[in-house]
Amino acid sequence: MRQVAMKAWIVYGLMTLISAMGTAAQPAERPLRVLCIGAHPDDCEVKMGGTAALYAAMGHQVKFISVTNGDAGHYAQGGGLLAERRRAEAQEAARRLGIAAYEVLDYHDAELVPSLEVRKQLIRKIREWQADLVFAPRPNDYHPDHRYTGQLVQDAAYLVMVPNVASDVPALRHNPVFLYLSDHFQKPNPFTPDIAVAIDEVVGRKLEALDAHVSQFYEWLPWIDGRLEEVPADPVARREWLRQAWLEQPLTDHVRAALARWYGPETAARVRYAEAFEICEYGHQPTEAEIRRLFPMLGQPVEQH
């Protein structure tokens, strides 16, 4: 009996040791891989700069892609020199947000079409980044580049998992969650926020990222709006003007409702700045638990009383 008991304890000890070693060998959950695909340098910053900063601060990997090089977005400059200027502004914005990468593709501004060539390139980019989440515009927008970027990403949503499409880059084994960036267009259907992220704590970083795009926010966009003479020359006053013009927008009732869902009514009522996203029907459809894992800044569910 003593020998049997001794063997049992030895076996138990070995099993415990093996279990402990197995537990120790389990890797920590890897950082999320987040990809935002915009039509122009600065589109991603406008729509999710704060959310990107939150992801980056939490140790997750964020990449922005601009499908066009922005070489038409100015009233006094254009072509290769403007494209280089905008590429440099994008890199500075990425540095200020703390994100991992910002890539500007070389398609001409205002000339993007949803071609097979561009579709395959975006399929490759999504695969190469091993994206868990992909953000892009909806395919209804005033600007054709925005519309076609949305269309291209939608067209890639299923094909990123098909090995015989763009076969030079291995297909993903798990479909990312694809999400639309917010807009105000109503036809054929309005933007519906499924998720809203409070960005009050990083709104300063978002402002600094927008400020990096001097050619756009202090030159081109004020010019096209007939407000160029309003832009202050002093850098501090200029940033304050930018904040008032681009960040001090009231949150809609729909965004407030989405904030209340994810943060609870009390916290949501205190939020001043937020970014909202709609889940695209074409990618993986996440559960609430998955959404909280993929958007860790949302925190834990709020108890209902």
What are the chain's domains?
33-298 (3.40.50.10320)
15 versus 33: the higher-pLDDT residue is: 33
Degrees, nearest 5: CA angle 165-170-174: 95
Give pLDDT tens digits for 174-199.
999 999 999 999 999 999 999 999 99
State phi, psi for 279 to the nearest 5 degrees.
-75, 125
- For residue 300, what pLDDT band results from cuts at 50, 70 and 90? low
pLDDT the model gives residue 204:
98
Q: Indicate the average pLDDT of the chain.
A: 91
pLDDT digit string (tens) for 131-154?
999 999 999 999 999 999 999 999
Residue 17 confidence (pLDDT) above 60:
no
Beta bridge partners of 62: 34
Distance, CA of 186 to CA of 130 (rounded, Å): 33
Q: pTM of the entire structure?
A: 0.90
User: Using alpha carbons only, how large is the chain's radius of gyration in Å?
Assistant: 23
Asked if pLDDT for residue 20 goes beyond 90, the answer is no
- Span 223-234, pLDDT tens digits: 999 999 999 999
Contacts with 142 (C-beta within 8 Å, 6 or more apart), sequence order: 185
* CB burial of residue 193 (10 Å; 0-12, 13-18, 19+): buried
**For range 263-280, the mean pLDDT:** 97
What is the pLDDT confidence band of residue 93, given thresholds at 50, 70 and 90? very high
Average pLDDT over residues 106-127: 98
pLDDT digits (tens, 9 = 90+) for 53-79: 999 999 999 999 999 999 999 999 999
